[in-house]
Amino acid sequence: MEIFFLRAIIGFLSLAFSFWISNSSPISGTATGMAILSLSGIGLFNYGPNELLFGAFTGSGWMLLNFYVDRIVPSETSFSFE
């Protein structure tokens, strides 16, 4: 049971790190997010279930989803914490 929690924590930390690095990269955020998304997707396809790759895939995908939805549907008021 403790292995499950360890893997869940590792997955959550990689999700948070991927989301953070995609948002704060000196390179364009979308380019970094696409690179992380592509590489982690290829890794998941080749190696199967992996908590690090799944967290990176989810974090970068979430960042890209937020970015493109904000571009498609702009709003005057922002709900982000920035």
Dihedral angle sign, alpha carbons of residues 44, 50, 60, 80: positive
> pLDDT tens across 41-52, in order?
998 899 888 888
Mean pLDDT of the region 12-29: 70
Question: Does this model's pTM top 0.75?
Answer: no
Torsion of CA 23, 24, 25, 30, to 10 degrees: 20
pLDDT band, very low/low/confident/very high, at 77 (cuts 50, 70, 90): low
pLDDT band at 74 (very low <50, low <70, confident <90, very high): confident
Amino acid (one-letter) located at 11: G
Q: What is the pLDDT of residue 22?
A: 62
Structure tokens at 74: 């702009």
Among the ranges given (13-17, 24-28, 29-33, 41-45), the one the predictor scored with the smallest mean pLDDT = 24-28
Inter-CA distances, 69 with 16, 33, 66, Å = 20, 15, 5
